[in-house]
Structure 1
Amino acid sequence: MHAQNAVEPVRGVPYGRSVMIKAGGPRTVGVPSPEARLRFGAELQELGGGPRRRLLMVDDEPAFELIFYCGSCPLLFRRLETANEKLHLEDMQERLGGPLDDPDDNGVIEAFGALLPEGEYLPLLLDVEPRRVIPGKEGDYFSGEQVTAWGIDQFWGLPQYPHTPYYRTFETVVDADAHLYEFVVPMVPPTWNERRRVEEYVALMERGTVPTAVAISTLNSSIACELQRCIA
Protein backbone atom coordinates (compact mmCIF):
# COMPACT_ATOMS: atom_id res chain seq x y z
CA MET A 1 0.00 0.00 0.00
CA HIS A 2 1.10 3.57 -0.57
CA ALA A 3 -0.27 6.73 1.01
CA GLN A 4 0.54 9.87 -0.94
CA ASN A 5 0.25 13.52 0.01
CA ALA A 6 0.18 15.84 -2.97
CA VAL A 7 0.28 19.58 -3.55
CA GLU A 8 -3.07 19.22 -5.31
CA PRO A 9 -5.58 16.37 -4.99
CA VAL A 10 -4.78 13.57 -7.40
CA ARG A 11 -7.57 12.50 -9.69
CA GLY A 12 -7.70 8.72 -9.45
CA VAL A 13 -9.59 5.97 -11.20
CA PRO A 14 -11.25 3.42 -8.89
CA TYR A 15 -9.84 -0.08 -9.23
CA GLY A 16 -11.96 -3.02 -8.13
CA ARG A 17 -12.59 -3.23 -4.44
CA SER A 18 -10.95 -4.45 -1.25
CA VAL A 19 -13.25 -5.81 1.46
CA MET A 20 -12.10 -6.82 4.93
CA ILE A 21 -13.41 -10.29 5.82
CA LYS A 22 -11.61 -10.77 9.10
CA ALA A 23 -8.61 -9.36 10.99
CA GLY A 24 -6.59 -11.43 13.40
CA GLY A 25 -4.76 -10.02 16.39
CA PRO A 26 -1.10 -8.95 16.11
CA ARG A 27 1.17 -11.95 16.51
CA THR A 28 4.85 -12.73 16.44
CA VAL A 29 5.97 -15.12 13.72
CA GLY A 30 9.10 -15.70 11.71
CA VAL A 31 12.65 -16.93 12.09
CA PRO A 32 15.92 -15.11 12.87
CA SER A 33 16.54 -12.60 10.07
CA PRO A 34 19.62 -14.35 8.58
CA GLU A 35 17.51 -17.52 8.17
CA ALA A 36 14.49 -15.84 6.55
CA ARG A 37 13.99 -16.56 2.86
CA LEU A 38 12.24 -13.21 2.39
CA ARG A 39 13.44 -10.08 4.18
CA PHE A 40 13.97 -6.36 3.75
CA GLY A 41 17.48 -4.98 3.66
CA ALA A 42 19.70 -2.18 2.42
CA GLU A 43 22.59 -2.18 -0.02
CA LEU A 44 25.43 -0.03 1.28
CA GLN A 45 27.63 2.34 -0.66
CA GLU A 46 31.23 1.30 -1.19
CA LEU A 47 33.87 2.22 1.39
CA GLY A 48 31.46 2.06 4.31
CA GLY A 49 29.07 4.73 3.06
CA GLY A 50 25.37 5.02 3.80
CA PRO A 51 22.57 2.97 2.24
CA ARG A 52 22.45 2.98 -1.55
CA ARG A 53 19.25 1.02 -2.17
CA ARG A 54 16.45 -0.40 -0.03
CA LEU A 55 15.79 -3.96 -1.14
CA LEU A 56 13.44 -6.88 -0.82
CA MET A 57 15.71 -9.91 -0.58
CA VAL A 58 14.76 -13.48 -1.51
CA ASP A 59 17.19 -16.23 -0.56
CA ASP A 60 19.82 -13.51 0.04
CA GLU A 61 19.47 -12.23 -3.53
CA PRO A 62 18.08 -8.74 -4.31
CA ALA A 63 14.60 -9.23 -5.80
CA PHE A 64 13.06 -5.74 -5.74
CA GLU A 65 14.34 -2.23 -5.20
CA LEU A 66 11.92 -0.34 -2.93
CA ILE A 67 11.15 3.20 -1.88
CA PHE A 68 13.37 4.64 0.85
CA TYR A 69 11.77 5.74 4.12
CA CYS A 70 12.62 9.37 3.39
CA GLY A 71 9.09 10.78 3.69
CA SER A 72 9.24 12.69 0.42
CA CYS A 73 10.49 10.03 -2.02
CA PRO A 74 8.04 8.90 -4.72
CA LEU A 75 6.80 5.32 -4.58
CA LEU A 76 9.12 2.73 -6.05
CA PHE A 77 9.04 -1.01 -6.53
CA ARG A 78 11.35 -2.24 -9.28
CA ARG A 79 11.98 -5.88 -10.12
CA LEU A 80 15.66 -6.73 -10.40
CA GLU A 81 17.45 -9.26 -12.60
CA THR A 82 17.96 -11.66 -9.69
CA ALA A 83 14.20 -11.88 -8.93
CA ASN A 84 13.56 -15.44 -10.08
CA GLU A 85 12.03 -17.23 -7.07
CA LYS A 86 8.29 -17.73 -6.45
CA LEU A 87 8.54 -18.79 -2.78
CA HIS A 88 6.14 -21.58 -3.64
CA LEU A 89 5.06 -23.92 -0.82
CA GLU A 90 3.95 -27.16 -2.45
CA ASP A 91 2.15 -28.51 0.62
CA MET A 92 -0.01 -25.35 0.81
CA GLN A 93 -1.20 -25.44 -2.79
CA GLU A 94 -4.33 -27.51 -2.23
CA ARG A 95 -5.15 -25.76 1.05
CA LEU A 96 -5.28 -22.42 -0.79
CA GLY A 97 -7.42 -23.78 -3.62
CA GLY A 98 -10.55 -22.33 -2.01
CA PRO A 99 -11.64 -19.49 0.28
CA LEU A 100 -10.65 -19.25 3.94
CA ASP A 101 -12.94 -18.29 6.82
CA ASP A 102 -10.07 -17.15 9.03
CA PRO A 103 -6.56 -15.85 8.24
CA ASP A 104 -5.06 -18.81 10.12
CA ASP A 105 -7.16 -21.56 8.53
CA ASN A 106 -5.16 -24.59 7.40
CA GLY A 107 -1.99 -23.36 9.12
CA VAL A 108 -1.40 -20.65 6.52
CA ILE A 109 0.19 -18.12 8.89
CA GLU A 110 2.50 -20.66 10.47
CA ALA A 111 3.64 -22.01 7.10
CA PHE A 112 4.31 -18.67 5.41
CA GLY A 113 5.50 -17.05 8.63
CA ALA A 114 8.46 -19.44 8.53
CA LEU A 115 9.67 -17.59 5.41
CA LEU A 116 9.78 -14.19 7.15
CA PRO A 117 12.14 -12.49 9.61
CA GLU A 118 10.88 -12.66 13.17
CA GLY A 119 8.60 -9.78 14.07
CA GLU A 120 5.06 -8.73 14.88
CA TYR A 121 2.60 -9.08 12.00
CA LEU A 122 -1.12 -8.35 11.63
CA PRO A 123 -2.99 -11.12 9.76
CA LEU A 124 -5.76 -9.83 7.48
CA LEU A 125 -8.22 -11.76 5.33
CA LEU A 126 -9.39 -9.64 2.39
CA ASP A 127 -11.62 -10.06 -0.63
CA VAL A 128 -10.06 -8.19 -3.56
CA GLU A 129 -10.66 -7.83 -7.29
CA PRO A 130 -7.22 -7.19 -8.81
CA ARG A 131 -6.75 -5.51 -12.16
CA ARG A 132 -3.52 -6.21 -14.02
CA VAL A 133 -1.53 -3.20 -15.20
CA ILE A 134 1.27 -3.11 -17.76
CA PRO A 135 3.87 -0.37 -17.09
CA GLY A 136 3.52 2.55 -19.47
CA LYS A 137 0.01 1.59 -20.56
CA GLU A 138 -3.46 2.65 -19.45
CA GLY A 139 -3.91 2.57 -15.69
CA ASP A 140 -0.18 2.60 -14.88
CA TYR A 141 0.35 4.50 -11.63
CA PHE A 142 3.95 5.43 -12.44
CA SER A 143 3.18 7.14 -15.75
CA GLY A 144 -0.12 8.54 -14.49
CA GLU A 145 -0.75 9.60 -10.89
CA GLN A 146 2.93 9.66 -9.91
CA VAL A 147 3.85 11.99 -12.77
CA THR A 148 0.95 14.26 -11.76
CA ALA A 149 2.25 14.49 -8.19
CA TRP A 150 6.06 14.32 -8.60
CA GLY A 151 6.77 14.81 -12.28
CA ILE A 152 9.14 12.60 -14.26
CA ASP A 153 12.47 11.26 -13.02
CA GLN A 154 14.91 14.18 -13.18
CA PHE A 155 17.87 12.05 -14.29
CA TRP A 156 16.23 9.83 -16.90
CA GLY A 157 13.59 12.31 -18.03
CA LEU A 158 11.04 9.48 -17.90
CA PRO A 159 8.49 8.07 -15.45
CA GLN A 160 9.63 5.38 -13.03
CA TYR A 161 9.54 1.91 -14.60
CA PRO A 162 8.91 -1.08 -12.29
CA HIS A 163 10.10 -3.78 -14.73
CA THR A 164 7.08 -5.95 -13.92
CA PRO A 165 3.35 -6.11 -14.52
CA TYR A 166 1.46 -5.52 -11.28
CA TYR A 167 -2.10 -5.31 -9.98
CA ARG A 168 -4.19 -2.43 -8.69
CA THR A 169 -6.83 -3.41 -6.16
CA PHE A 170 -8.03 -0.37 -4.23
CA GLU A 171 -7.64 3.37 -3.93
CA THR A 172 -9.44 6.09 -2.02
CA VAL A 173 -9.26 9.76 -1.16
CA VAL A 174 -8.04 10.22 2.42
CA ASP A 175 -8.60 13.99 2.54
CA ALA A 176 -8.22 17.02 0.27
CA ASP A 177 -4.44 16.54 0.02
CA ALA A 178 -3.96 12.79 0.46
CA HIS A 179 -4.71 9.63 -1.50
CA LEU A 180 -4.29 5.94 -0.65
CA TYR A 181 -3.27 3.45 -3.34
CA GLU A 182 -3.05 -0.32 -2.97
CA PHE A 183 -0.88 -2.46 -5.26
CA VAL A 184 -0.26 -6.20 -5.49
CA VAL A 185 3.15 -7.02 -6.95
CA PRO A 186 3.90 -10.61 -8.04
CA MET A 187 7.28 -12.09 -7.20
CA VAL A 188 7.71 -13.14 -10.84
CA PRO A 189 5.88 -12.06 -14.03
CA PRO A 190 2.47 -13.65 -14.73
CA THR A 191 3.99 -15.14 -17.90
CA TRP A 192 6.03 -17.42 -15.60
CA ASN A 193 2.89 -18.98 -14.13
CA GLU A 194 2.33 -22.67 -14.80
CA ARG A 195 -0.31 -22.88 -17.51
CA ARG A 196 -1.84 -26.04 -16.09
CA ARG A 197 -2.27 -24.45 -12.67
CA VAL A 198 -3.79 -21.30 -14.17
CA GLU A 199 -6.34 -23.42 -16.03
CA GLU A 200 -7.18 -25.21 -12.76
CA TYR A 201 -7.85 -21.86 -11.08
CA VAL A 202 -10.03 -20.75 -14.00
CA ALA A 203 -12.08 -23.94 -13.71
CA LEU A 204 -12.47 -23.44 -9.95
CA MET A 205 -13.68 -19.86 -10.35
CA GLU A 206 -16.10 -20.84 -13.11
CA ARG A 207 -17.68 -23.18 -10.54
CA GLY A 208 -17.89 -20.34 -8.01
CA THR A 209 -14.86 -21.29 -5.90
CA VAL A 210 -12.52 -18.41 -5.08
CA PRO A 211 -8.87 -19.43 -4.45
CA THR A 212 -6.70 -17.69 -1.85
CA ALA A 213 -3.42 -15.85 -2.42
CA VAL A 214 -0.90 -14.96 0.29
CA ALA A 215 0.95 -11.63 0.39
CA ILE A 216 3.22 -9.71 2.74
CA SER A 217 2.15 -6.07 2.92
CA THR A 218 3.92 -2.82 3.79
CA LEU A 219 2.61 0.74 4.06
CA ASN A 220 4.64 3.67 2.71
CA SER A 221 3.76 7.33 3.17
CA SER A 222 5.21 10.05 0.94
CA ILE A 223 4.72 13.80 0.60
CA ALA A 224 4.99 15.37 -2.84
CA CYS A 225 5.96 19.02 -2.51
CA GLU A 226 8.01 21.76 -4.06
CA LEU A 227 11.74 21.50 -3.35
CA GLN A 228 11.96 24.66 -1.26
CA ARG A 229 9.04 23.53 0.90
CA CYS A 230 10.64 20.11 1.46
CA ILE A 231 13.94 21.68 2.54
CA ALA A 232 12.19 24.10 4.88
Structure 2
Amino acid sequence: MLIKCDEPRRLGVPDSGARPRFETEPQDSEGRTGRRLLTVDGEPAFELSHWCGTCPLLFRRLKTAKQTLSLEGVRERLTGSLAEPGDYGVIDVFGALLPEGEYLPVLLRVEPRLVVPGQEGDYFSGEQVDTWGLDQFWGLPEYPHTPYYRTFETVVDASAHLYEFVVPMVPPTWNTRERVEEYAELMGRGVVPTAVAVSTLDVCEPAGGFGDDRSQHWGLTHFVLDGHHKLEAAATAGRPVRLLSLLALGEGLASAEDCARLPALRDQPRSARTAGA
Protein backbone atom coordinates (compact mmCIF):
# COMPACT_ATOMS: atom_id res chain seq x y z
CA MET A 1 0.00 0.00 0.00
CA LEU A 2 1.29 3.46 -0.93
CA ILE A 3 0.91 5.88 1.98
CA LYS A 4 2.49 8.99 0.47
CA CYS A 5 5.04 9.99 -2.14
CA ASP A 6 6.89 13.31 -1.90
CA GLU A 7 8.52 15.27 -4.70
CA PRO A 8 12.09 14.27 -5.59
CA ARG A 9 14.68 16.10 -3.54
CA ARG A 10 18.44 16.43 -3.42
CA LEU A 11 20.00 14.64 -0.47
CA GLY A 12 23.34 13.32 0.59
CA VAL A 13 26.95 14.27 1.05
CA PRO A 14 30.01 14.05 -1.22
CA ASP A 15 31.01 10.46 -1.95
CA SER A 16 33.97 10.59 0.41
CA GLY A 17 31.60 11.16 3.35
CA ALA A 18 28.78 8.81 2.34
CA ARG A 19 28.49 5.43 4.06
CA PRO A 20 26.54 3.50 1.38
CA ARG A 21 27.60 4.27 -2.19
CA PHE A 22 26.71 3.00 -5.65
CA GLU A 23 29.86 2.23 -7.62
CA THR A 24 31.06 0.43 -10.74
CA GLU A 25 34.37 -1.39 -10.72
CA PRO A 26 36.91 -0.36 -13.38
CA GLN A 27 37.08 -2.25 -16.66
CA ASP A 28 39.34 -5.28 -16.64
CA SER A 29 42.36 -5.80 -18.92
CA GLU A 30 40.07 -7.11 -21.69
CA GLY A 31 37.82 -4.05 -21.58
CA ARG A 32 34.90 -5.72 -19.84
CA THR A 33 32.82 -3.49 -17.54
CA GLY A 34 33.34 -4.17 -13.85
CA ARG A 35 30.66 -5.16 -11.40
CA ARG A 36 27.98 -2.71 -10.37
CA LEU A 37 28.10 -2.51 -6.56
CA LEU A 38 26.51 -1.14 -3.44
CA THR A 39 29.38 -0.48 -1.03
CA VAL A 40 29.24 0.34 2.68
CA ASP A 41 32.11 2.28 4.23
CA GLY A 42 34.21 1.53 1.16
CA GLU A 43 33.68 -2.25 1.26
CA PRO A 44 31.64 -4.03 -1.43
CA ALA A 45 28.35 -5.13 0.19
CA PHE A 46 26.14 -6.21 -2.75
CA GLU A 47 26.68 -6.95 -6.41
CA LEU A 48 23.80 -5.43 -8.39
CA SER A 49 22.20 -6.08 -11.78
CA HIS A 50 24.63 -5.69 -14.67
CA TRP A 51 24.54 -2.41 -16.59
CA CYS A 52 23.53 -4.13 -19.85
CA GLY A 53 19.92 -4.51 -18.64
CA THR A 54 19.58 -7.84 -20.48
CA CYS A 55 21.15 -9.95 -17.71
CA PRO A 56 18.90 -11.18 -14.89
CA LEU A 57 17.97 -8.89 -12.03
CA LEU A 58 20.44 -9.26 -9.18
CA PHE A 59 21.24 -8.33 -5.61
CA ARG A 60 24.00 -10.64 -4.34
CA ARG A 61 25.41 -10.22 -0.86
CA LEU A 62 29.20 -10.28 -0.73
CA LYS A 63 31.53 -11.51 2.01
CA THR A 64 32.37 -7.98 3.12
CA ALA A 65 28.70 -7.10 3.91
CA LYS A 66 29.02 -7.22 7.70
CA GLN A 67 27.26 -4.20 9.18
CA THR A 68 23.99 -2.31 9.36
CA LEU A 69 23.45 1.45 9.17
CA SER A 70 20.92 1.95 11.97
CA LEU A 71 21.02 5.26 13.84
CA GLU A 72 20.25 4.98 17.53
CA GLY A 73 19.40 8.71 17.68
CA VAL A 74 16.20 8.19 15.70
CA ARG A 75 15.20 4.81 17.16
CA GLU A 76 12.35 6.24 19.24
CA ARG A 77 10.96 8.24 16.31
CA LEU A 78 10.75 5.06 14.21
CA THR A 79 9.19 2.83 16.86
CA GLY A 80 5.79 4.03 15.63
CA SER A 81 4.35 4.93 12.24
CA LEU A 82 5.41 7.88 10.15
CA ALA A 83 2.34 9.63 8.71
CA GLU A 84 4.38 11.59 6.14
CA PRO A 85 7.76 10.76 4.59
CA GLY A 86 9.33 13.87 6.11
CA ASP A 87 8.02 13.46 9.67
CA TYR A 88 10.54 14.11 12.47
CA GLY A 89 13.24 15.06 10.00
CA VAL A 90 13.93 11.37 9.29
CA ILE A 91 14.64 11.98 5.60
CA ASP A 92 17.33 14.53 6.40
CA VAL A 93 18.89 12.33 9.09
CA PHE A 94 19.27 9.32 6.80
CA GLY A 95 19.95 11.52 3.79
CA ALA A 96 23.15 12.60 5.54
CA LEU A 97 24.42 9.01 5.21
CA LEU A 98 23.83 8.80 1.46
CA PRO A 99 25.87 9.89 -1.55
CA GLU A 100 24.79 13.21 -2.99
CA GLY A 101 22.05 12.86 -5.58
CA GLU A 102 18.34 13.00 -6.36
CA TYR A 103 16.05 10.81 -4.27
CA LEU A 104 12.32 10.12 -4.37
CA PRO A 105 10.89 9.67 -0.84
CA VAL A 106 8.11 7.06 -0.82
CA LEU A 107 6.28 5.90 2.31
CA LEU A 108 4.82 2.40 2.03
CA ARG A 109 2.91 -0.09 4.14
CA VAL A 110 4.36 -3.55 3.60
CA GLU A 111 3.73 -7.03 4.95
CA PRO A 112 7.13 -8.71 4.61
CA ARG A 113 7.46 -12.41 3.86
CA LEU A 114 10.89 -13.91 4.54
CA VAL A 115 12.27 -15.94 1.63
CA VAL A 116 15.27 -18.27 1.69
CA PRO A 117 16.99 -18.74 -1.70
CA GLY A 118 16.04 -22.00 -3.34
CA GLN A 119 12.98 -22.48 -1.15
CA GLU A 120 9.29 -21.71 -1.63
CA GLY A 121 8.59 -18.21 -2.95
CA ASP A 122 12.16 -17.54 -4.11
CA TYR A 123 12.08 -15.11 -7.04
CA PHE A 124 15.47 -16.26 -8.35
CA SER A 125 14.48 -19.91 -8.74
CA GLY A 126 10.90 -19.06 -9.72
CA GLU A 127 9.87 -16.05 -11.78
CA GLN A 128 13.41 -15.25 -12.91
CA VAL A 129 13.97 -18.77 -14.27
CA ASP A 130 10.59 -18.55 -16.03
CA THR A 131 11.98 -15.59 -18.02
CA TRP A 132 15.76 -16.13 -18.32
CA GLY A 133 16.02 -19.87 -17.77
CA LEU A 134 18.89 -21.33 -15.77
CA ASP A 135 22.35 -19.80 -15.90
CA GLN A 136 23.86 -21.10 -19.14
CA PHE A 137 27.23 -21.88 -17.56
CA TRP A 138 26.32 -23.19 -14.11
CA GLY A 139 22.96 -24.71 -15.02
CA LEU A 140 21.55 -23.18 -11.82
CA PRO A 141 19.41 -20.17 -10.85
CA GLU A 142 21.07 -16.95 -9.72
CA TYR A 143 21.89 -17.11 -6.00
CA PRO A 144 21.68 -13.93 -3.88
CA HIS A 145 23.63 -15.30 -0.88
CA THR A 146 21.09 -13.83 1.54
CA PRO A 147 17.58 -14.38 2.81
CA TYR A 148 15.35 -11.47 1.78
CA TYR A 149 11.77 -10.26 2.09
CA ARG A 150 9.15 -10.21 -0.63
CA THR A 151 6.51 -7.56 -0.11
CA PHE A 152 4.64 -6.73 -3.31
CA GLU A 153 4.24 -7.34 -7.03
CA THR A 154 1.94 -5.94 -9.68
CA VAL A 155 1.42 -5.76 -13.41
CA VAL A 156 3.13 -2.98 -15.39
CA ASP A 157 1.61 -3.99 -18.71
CA ALA A 158 1.01 -7.19 -20.67
CA SER A 159 4.74 -7.79 -21.11
CA ALA A 160 6.17 -6.32 -17.90
CA HIS A 161 5.79 -6.95 -14.16
CA LEU A 162 6.97 -5.14 -11.01
CA TYR A 163 8.61 -7.21 -8.26
CA GLU A 164 9.48 -5.64 -4.90
CA PHE A 165 12.17 -6.88 -2.51
CA VAL A 166 13.39 -5.73 0.91
CA VAL A 167 17.01 -6.77 1.40
CA PRO A 168 18.65 -6.76 4.85
CA MET A 169 22.27 -5.66 5.04
CA VAL A 170 22.99 -8.71 7.23
CA PRO A 171 21.04 -11.98 7.57
CA PRO A 172 18.11 -12.13 10.03
CA THR A 173 20.07 -14.80 11.96
CA TRP A 174 22.39 -11.97 13.04
CA ASN A 175 19.53 -10.06 14.69
CA THR A 176 19.31 -9.83 18.47
CA ARG A 177 16.52 -12.17 19.58
CA GLU A 178 15.40 -9.91 22.44
CA ARG A 179 14.86 -6.94 20.11
CA VAL A 180 12.92 -9.04 17.60
CA GLU A 181 10.66 -10.26 20.42
CA GLU A 182 10.27 -6.71 21.72
CA TYR A 183 9.00 -5.52 18.33
CA ALA A 184 6.76 -8.56 17.93
CA GLU A 185 5.16 -7.73 21.28
CA LEU A 186 4.63 -4.10 20.25
CA MET A 187 3.07 -5.18 16.97
CA GLY A 188 0.77 -7.51 18.87
CA ARG A 189 -0.56 -4.40 20.62
CA GLY A 190 -1.25 -2.70 17.29
CA VAL A 191 1.93 -0.65 16.93
CA VAL A 192 3.14 -0.33 13.31
CA PRO A 193 6.83 0.69 13.38
CA THR A 194 8.80 2.20 10.50
CA ALA A 195 11.86 0.89 8.65
CA VAL A 196 14.08 2.98 6.33
CA ALA A 197 15.79 1.91 3.12
CA VAL A 198 17.75 3.26 0.18
CA SER A 199 16.24 1.82 -2.98
CA THR A 200 16.87 1.22 -6.66
CA LEU A 201 14.64 0.46 -9.62
CA ASP A 202 16.14 -1.91 -12.22
CA VAL A 203 14.28 -2.67 -15.45
CA CYS A 204 15.68 -5.85 -17.01
CA GLU A 205 14.65 -7.78 -20.12
CA PRO A 206 16.37 -10.81 -21.68
CA ALA A 207 17.98 -10.44 -25.09
CA GLY A 208 17.56 -14.13 -25.90
CA GLY A 209 14.76 -16.61 -25.35
CA PHE A 210 15.85 -19.16 -22.73
CA GLY A 211 12.73 -19.07 -20.53
CA ASP A 212 9.07 -19.78 -21.17
CA ASP A 213 7.80 -16.34 -20.16
CA ARG A 214 9.77 -13.63 -21.94
CA SER A 215 8.84 -10.47 -20.10
CA GLN A 216 10.36 -7.30 -18.65
CA HIS A 217 11.10 -7.39 -14.92
CA TRP A 218 10.91 -4.17 -12.93
CA GLY A 219 12.86 -4.85 -9.75
CA LEU A 220 12.20 -2.40 -6.90
CA THR A 221 14.87 -3.29 -4.34
CA HIS A 222 14.97 -1.70 -0.88
CA PHE A 223 18.31 -2.05 0.94
CA VAL A 224 17.57 -1.72 4.66
CA LEU A 225 19.25 1.15 6.48
CA ASP A 226 17.19 0.83 9.68
CA GLY A 227 14.63 -1.77 10.70
CA HIS A 228 16.23 -5.23 10.53
CA HIS A 229 14.62 -6.37 13.78
CA LYS A 230 11.24 -4.84 12.89
CA LEU A 231 11.12 -6.59 9.54
CA GLU A 232 11.93 -10.00 11.01
CA ALA A 233 9.33 -9.48 13.76
CA ALA A 234 6.72 -8.46 11.19
CA ALA A 235 7.47 -11.45 8.96
CA THR A 236 7.32 -13.85 11.92
CA ALA A 237 4.11 -12.42 13.35
CA GLY A 238 2.37 -11.70 10.04
CA ARG A 239 2.17 -7.98 10.84
CA PRO A 240 2.71 -4.85 8.69
CA VAL A 241 5.42 -2.24 8.97
CA ARG A 242 5.83 1.10 7.30
CA LEU A 243 8.82 1.50 5.01
CA LEU A 244 10.34 4.85 4.13
CA SER A 245 12.07 4.28 0.80
CA LEU A 246 14.60 6.79 -0.50
CA LEU A 247 14.68 5.82 -4.18
CA ALA A 248 18.06 6.75 -5.67
CA LEU A 249 17.17 8.29 -9.02
CA GLY A 250 19.80 7.69 -11.66
CA GLU A 251 21.44 4.80 -9.79
CA GLY A 252 19.20 2.03 -11.10
CA LEU A 253 18.64 0.59 -14.57
CA ALA A 254 15.52 2.66 -15.15
CA SER A 255 14.74 5.82 -17.07
CA ALA A 256 13.35 8.98 -15.49
CA GLU A 257 9.99 8.10 -17.07
CA ASP A 258 10.06 4.63 -15.47
CA CYS A 259 10.79 6.11 -12.04
CA ALA A 260 8.00 8.66 -12.47
CA ARG A 261 5.56 5.78 -13.00
CA LEU A 262 6.57 4.01 -9.82
CA PRO A 263 4.20 5.71 -7.32
CA ALA A 264 1.15 4.90 -9.47
CA LEU A 265 2.32 1.31 -9.95
CA ARG A 266 2.98 0.92 -6.24
CA ASP A 267 -0.57 2.15 -5.55
CA GLN A 268 -2.10 -0.63 -7.66
CA PRO A 269 -3.54 -3.80 -6.16
CA ARG A 270 -1.15 -6.70 -5.66
CA SER A 271 -1.17 -8.98 -8.70
CA ALA A 272 0.95 -12.06 -9.46
CA ARG A 273 2.45 -12.54 -12.91
CA THR A 274 0.55 -14.85 -15.23
CA ALA A 275 3.13 -16.42 -17.52
CA GLY A 276 2.60 -15.42 -21.14
CA ALA A 277 -0.07 -12.86 -20.21
Q: Same fold (TM over 0.5)?
A: yes
Cα deviation for residue 216 of structure 1 reads 0.9
Structure 1 Cα separation of the partners of residues 125 and 68 of structure 2: 27
Cα deviation for residue 155 of structure 1 reads 1.5
One-letter code aligned to 2:208: E
C-alpha RMSD of matched pairs (Å): 1.5
**Residue equivalent to 2:47:** 65
Identity %: 68
Structure 1 Cα separation of the partners of residues 35 and 206 of structure 2: 20
Matched, 1:116 2:98: yes
Matched, 1:175 2:157: yes
Unaligned runs of 5+ in 1: 1-18, 228-232
SS of 1:154 mapped into structure 2: coil
**Residue equivalent to 1:3:** none
Matched, 1:31 2:13: yes
One-letter code aligned to 2:182: E
Structure 2 Cα separation of the partners of residues 27 and 226 of structure 1: 38
1:97-112 mapped onto 2 (5 Å cutoff): 97-112=79-94
SS of 1:170 mapped into structure 2: strand
Matched, 1:21 2:21: no
Whether the aligned pair in 2 keeps the contact of 1:69 and 1:220 (CA below 8 Å) is: no
Q: State which of 129, 138, 142 in structure 1 corresponds to 2:120.
A: 138
Structure 2 Cα separation of the partners of residues 68 and 47 of structure 1: 18
RCO comparison, higher one (Cα < 8 Å, 6+): 1
Structure 1 Cα separation of the partners of residues 173 and 186 of structure 2: 20
Matched, 1:220 2:198: no
Aligned residues: 210
One-letter code aligned to 1:150: W
Cα deviation for residue 85 of structure 1 reads 1.0
**Residue equivalent to 1:12:** none
Cα deviation for residue 115 of structure 1 reads 0.8
Matched, 1:210 2:183: no
Structure 2 Cα separation of the partners of residues 93 and 70 of structure 1: 39
One-letter code aligned to 1:139: G
Structure 2 Cα separation of the partners of residues 55 and 138 of structure 1: 27
Cα deviation for residue 50 of structure 1 reads 4.4
SS of 1:213 mapped into structure 2: strand
Matched, 1:149 2:131: yes
Cα deviation for residue 71 of structure 1 reads 2.2
Structure 2 Cα separation of the partners of residues 24 and 88 of structure 1: 23
Structure 2 Cα separation of the partners of residues 144 and 117 of structure 1: 34
Cα deviation for residue 220 of structure 1 reads 0.6
SS of 2:195 mapped into structure 1: coil
Whether the aligned pair in 2 keeps the contact of 1:30 and 1:116 (CA below 8 Å) is: yes
Structure 2 Cα separation of the partners of residues 65 and 148 of structure 1: 22
**CA displacement 1:125-176 (0-9 Å, x = unmatched):** 1111111100000100100111110011112111000000001111112222
TM-score w.r.t. the length of structure 1 is 0.87
Structure with larger Rg: 1
Structure 2 Cα separation of the partners of residues 219 and 187 of structure 1: 18
SS of 1:136 mapped into structure 2: coil
Structure 2 Cα separation of the partners of residues 42 and 130 of structure 1: 30
